[in-house]
Amino acid sequence: MTKNRTGPARGRVTLKTIADATGLSLSTVSLSLRGGTTLKQETRDKVAAAAKSLGYVPDRAGVRLRTGKTNVIALVLESAGDSIDFARHMIKGIGQAINGTRYHLSIAPEFDDPGSVETIRYVLDNRTADGLIITHTRPRDRRVQLLMDADFPFVTHGRTEFFTPHPYHDFHAEAFLEAAVLRLANKGCRKLLLVVGDDSTTNYHNIVTAYRHAALRLGLDGRVLQSMSSRASPAEVRRIGEELAHSPDRPDGIISDTEMRTISLVGGLQDGGVRIGQDLHLIYKQTSDIVPTFFPHLDSVQEDVFAAGVELTNLLLRRIGGEPAENLQTLAEPVLLWRNP
């Protein structure tokens, strides 16, 4: 008895499948999918379109055996609970940058043991990726040291204090603090408070140093909130905000380095009867569109995390291609969103 077939057999799509569909040779298809630049763009587009329509998935083990490459980049993603939508925007940016390339993204979340080297060691020992993106760096980051010692391609979202150069892309925190302090000074604020998080990161030290320098230069009282743990819960930050509202030494200007802390802090200040924009001015670092929905009149300084994901990926691909590390260090300038006259 013969069975009717309504379409082609649903087997694994191979290079030969694509070659048959395009009328190109197997070697041309293989070279095109490896990113061969000697082929005409028309040929490469034809192969890419056929591979996509047929649902071609590269055989990672085969690719690795043939080339020593995995065609994978890995994102070592630390907890970003204080930054709303950080992970989503970062991943979208990386996805945008690898779209149309031979690379795929692997994500290794490290929420319970930030700064651990275990993920790095696993990648190095098993060669599960061609390069790494690391977030939330520390001044003498052990992960960075391990990768530099292994001469393995990587890029960090954040700077370190190592003398040996390595690729990085970072938010220009110093420019953020300079602009924010000057803005508050121009509003008549003289008693400032910086609310900043994890004191183990390079970003923390950059922010605090720039803040103190700017406040000193302008003759302002520039304090850093010391009573808050680096991983304080939103409820704890809200309580701190209410305590500040009732403090006889209440600041008249606050700078907050993340959105979650800003929401909690403003809630506590308002619980204590403070009118933001009248009794006290506040500027925060913005990484999403959430906070302006709740507090449309608050000034902010924006970091584009999506663009950071794109830039980090481009830097990593250039590093994988052999470009020197000292050529792969960039800063993202802050976007000033002054909403409150």
SS3 content of the chain, % helix, strand, coil (to 5): 45, 15, 40
* Every domain range in the chain assigned CATH 3.40.50.2300: 72-171+305-332, 173-302
CATH of 173-302, one of 1.10.287.620, 3.40.50.2300, 3.40.50.620, 1.20.1440.230: 3.40.50.2300
Q: What is the mean pLDDT of residues 196-210?
A: 87
pLDDT at 322: 93
List the alpha helices (DSSP H) in the chain.
Answer: 15-22, 26-33, 41-54, 60-67, 86-98, 118-126, 142-150, 173-186, 202-217, 234-246, 259-271, 290-294, 305-320
Q: Pick the more confident residue, 35 or 100.
A: 100
Domain 72-171+305-332's class? Answer: alpha beta
pLDDT at 164: 94
Element (H, E) at 282: strand 281-286
| Residue type present at position 194 | L
pLDDT at 39: 80
Residue with tokens 């103190």: 212
Residues 305, 240, 268, 300, CA torsion sign: negative
* Tens digit of each residue's pLDDT (9 = 90 or more) over 81-99: 556 788 899 999 999 999 9
pLDDT at 65: 43
* Every domain range in the chain assigned CATH 1.10.260.40: 1-57
- How far is 34 from 71, CA to CA, in rounded Å? 9
Q: For domain 1-57, give the CATH number.
A: 1.10.260.40
pLDDT at 126: 86
Is the pLDDT at 8 greater than 50, yes or no? no
Pick the range with the lowest mean pLDDT from 54-58, 234-238, 300-304.
54-58
Among candidate residues 195, 250, 190, the one with its CA nearest the CA of residue 220: 190
Is the pLDDT at 228 greater than 90, yes or no? no
* Tens digit of each residue's pLDDT (9 = 90 or more) over 254-294: 999 999 899 999 999 999 999 999 999 999 999 988 999 99
* Percent of residues, the chain, with pLDDT higher than 70: 89
| pTM (predicted TM-score) | 0.79
Q: Pick the more confident residue, 240 or 81.
A: 240
